Amino acid sequence: MSAIPNTAAPVLEPVLEIEHVAVHFGGLVAVADMNFAVHEGEVVSLIGPNGAGKTTAFNVITGFLRPTKGRIRYRGTVLTGLRPHEVADLGVVRTFQKTSVFDTNTVFENILIGLHRRGRCTAWETLLGLPRVRAEEKRLREEAVEILEFVGIARRASELGGALPYGEQRLLEVAVALAARPSLLLLDEPVSGMNPAETSSFMRLLARIRARNITVLLVEHDMRMVMGVSDRVVVLNHGKIIAEGPPAAIQQNPEVIRAYLGHGVRGEGAKRA
Ligand SMILES: Nc1ncnc2c1ncn2[C@@H]1O[C@H](COP(=O)(O)OP(=O)(O)OP(=O)(O)O)[C@@H](O)[C@H]1O
Ligand SMILES: [Mg+2]
């Protein structure tokens, strides 16, 4: 046994690498020369005022938009130019800022649709119970129940997605994303519209997601949540990164405070208008 303790910090591997990414919409520069990395096991928050380019960054990472310039890599594979389902197949899965549950399908069916994204059978084959899917069906159903229990909405399994209270619809979206077995989960304002108790509960869920070795990139306006769950915070303003660092340093950063003037970067004052 060595007498000298090993105090060296573990070397974190970058999994997601964003290199010189720009997104232009005509003359509007939504994202300009963006560079940052997310490391294995981290929770990183991407914050910034409304219109800063956060959702655009998610769209470009997950293949919903092509960047005007730059390159994105995940675990060494270039994502740029891939379609959303190809990006998801590599383990990079996102939720949407606007609620995207299937209103007229049950909660359980919403999860089955998510599960099929990495299964061999289509969601509709699964829902219709065609012969070739029956063997797989039992396993998928068990997994769907497990995911619903994990996010805490198992008792809602047979209700329609659209009939859930708003906070639980947001949990369902996370459940659908988890069904795709992400290794990197991108959450776009998951607690917007949630009350403080629901937000606290979501923060505990995030800790359990992290305990499953899922790396998280979070876009969120709720600063209590951002400061409570993040290892690192990246701040965007007008499409440019203006600060990056641990939450405590970001809260004190004068440029960040200036960017948020009138929005409030501390406490709970940064809720959306
Ligand atoms: N498809 C599009 N076509 C044209 N302009 C767009 C498009 N998508 C986003 N924009 C513009 O790009 C800028 C960045 O938008 P984005 O949605 O990324 O901001 P955001 O940081 O997610 O804001 P919020 O906090 O309000 O969600 C905004 O000026 C927006 O109007
Ligand atoms: Mg957005």
Domains defined along the chain, listed by start: 14-100+181-269 (3.40.50.300), 102-163 (no CATH)
- Mean of pLDDT over the chain: 88
Look at ligand 1, atom 6, and give the residue with the nearest C-alpha: 25
Ligand 1 and 63: CB distance under 6 A: no
pLDDT of residue 103: 87
Q: Is ligand 1 within 6 A of the CB of residue 66? A: no
Are 272 and 48 in contact by the 8 Å Cβ rule? The answer is: no
Ligand 1 atom 7 nearest Cα = 25
Confidence of residue 252 (pLDDT cuts 50, 70, 90): very high
Q: Which of 8-22, 25-39, 78-92, 128-142 has the lowest mean pLDDT?
A: 128-142
Pocket test for ligand 1, best of 21, 25, 58 (most atoms within 8 A of CB): 25
Kindly report the pTM of this predicted structure.
0.88
Distant-in-sequence, close-in-space partners of 255: CB < 8 Å, separation ≥ 6: 242, 243
Asked if the model's pLDDT at residue 209 lies above 60, the reply is yes
How would you class 211 by CB atoms within 10 Å of its CB: exposed for 0-12, middle for 13-18, buried for 19 or more?
exposed
Does an H or E element contain 249, and which? helix 247-252
Reported as a pLDDT band with limits 50, 70 and 90, residue 184 is: very high
Going from the Cα of 141 to the center of ligand 2, the distance in angstroms, rounded, reads 33
Any ligand 1 atom below 6 A from CB of 192: no
Tokens (6 digits) for 83: 């379609």
Residue 125 pLDDT > 90: no
pLDDT at 6 over 70: no
Q: What is the mean pLDDT of residues 10-16?
A: 81
| Residues 71, 68: Cα–Cα separation, whole Å | 10
Q: Residue 115: its pLDDT value, please? A: 80
Residue 257 main-chain phi, psi, to 5 deg: -60, -40
Residue 62: burial class (beta carbons within 10 Å; 0-12, 13-18, 19+): buried
Q: Give the CA radius of gyration of the chain.
A: 19
Model confidence at 121, pLDDT cuts 50, 70, 90, reads low
Residue with the smallest CA separation from ligand 1 atom 25 is: 50
